[in-house]
Amino acid sequence: MPYIIPAVQSVIAQQWPVTEILVVDDGSDDDSAEQVEQSCPGVRVLRQPNAGAAAARNLGIEETTGEWIAFLDADDIWLPGKLRAQFDLLRAQPAARMAYGAWRVWSSGALAPDADAIRDALIDTDPQRWKGPSGWIYGALLLDCEVWTSTVVAHRSLFEEVGRFDTTLPIGEDYDFWLRASRITPILRVSRPLALYRMHSSNITGSAPAQNWHALVVSRAVERWGYSCDHGSRARPRDVRRTLATSWCDYAAAHLAIGNRGTARRAAVAAVRQDPRQLRAWHLLGKVLLSRVTPTQRSPNGAG
């Protein structure tokens, strides 16, 4: 992973004191861990056989000693002032035990952002553009996973109260945790893009997931807690059903594109059941059914 050093350096460069930095090597097959040990003295490297993002984050949580825990994926970047902005917000609202922030997608091929890229991000502070849910956001999270892991700061007590990341979820383990956390704490948002999500070929895939993890996470939350929490945050059931239908449509389209007609058909049916008024769901279902019809081959003389 060529981006790990810039990621770690973006943490070291924060204007808020960082007491310890842990890097979890989740069974990598390159020399990323060795690069960190050689280039970033004082950073502690933990190694484990490949077990997925949830297990890697859980190991970091177990091994760190800090009161507050922040996350950063190995190919992303924190911008200057990221932690300070979040802790200023948390100090102003001491009942909150978690904060996240806005971010920008960064598609440059450079290993690290140059001064111009950092300046452009830091001056891009349009409050309407970067506005998002803040406070008791359970209802908003049912409609969209607004929280990005590489922007999160959470108090250790949250993990003791609601548990760690769910290792049975290869995708959506972070979304699942945010939903659980949103039941017991306000989650504050810094409406400034103080992190960069690096877009590169390795995190773009044309494959379709084996399961609709988004729908699983949301449906599981609704089955357990319903559409509201005790602190007034609520989503309208029809809006959640519409969101689930869209998720099933996306899942159906991904599987149809790679020829998995059976999975695509079942997903399209699930979308129609969630929201019969969604035209895209019916369109996909029709497309799947029509794709099963093979045109009759004609003989050279035109006879059927």
Q: Give the tens place of pLDDT for each residue, 233-279.
A: 999 999 999 999 999 999 999 999 999 999 999 999 999 999 999 99
On whether the CB atoms of residues 11 and 18 are closer than 8 A, the answer is yes
CB atoms within 10 A of CB 297: 6
Summarize the confidence of residues 132-155 as an average pLDDT.
97
On whether the CB atoms of residues 224 and 129 are closer than 8 A, the answer is no
Please work out, in degrees rounded to the nearest 5, the angle formed at the alpha carbon of residue 69 by the alpha carbons of 154 and 205.
85
What's the CA gap between 249 and 185, in Å, rounded?
Answer: 32
CA torsion sign for 197, 203, 208, 210 is: negative
Summarize the confidence of residues 108-133 as an average pLDDT.
84
Q: Indicate whether 70 pLDDT > 60.
A: yes
CATH number for the domain formed by residue range(s) 4-203: 3.90.550.10
Report CA-CA distances (Å) from 118 to 5, 9, 106, 138, 219.
17, 14, 11, 32, 39
The confidence score (pLDDT) of residue 204 equals 57
For residue 234, what is the DSSP state? B
Is the pLDDT higher at 97 or at 294?
97
* Residue 300 pLDDT grade (very low, low, confident, very high; cuts 50, 70, 90): very low
Query: Average pLDDT, whole number, for the chain?
Result: 91
- Delimit the domains of the chain by residue range: 4-203, 236-291
* Residue 304 pLDDT grade (very low, low, confident, very high; cuts 50, 70, 90): very low
H or E stretch covering 57: helix 53-63
Q: Indicate whether 221 pLDDT > 50.
A: yes
For residue 220, what is the DSSP state? H
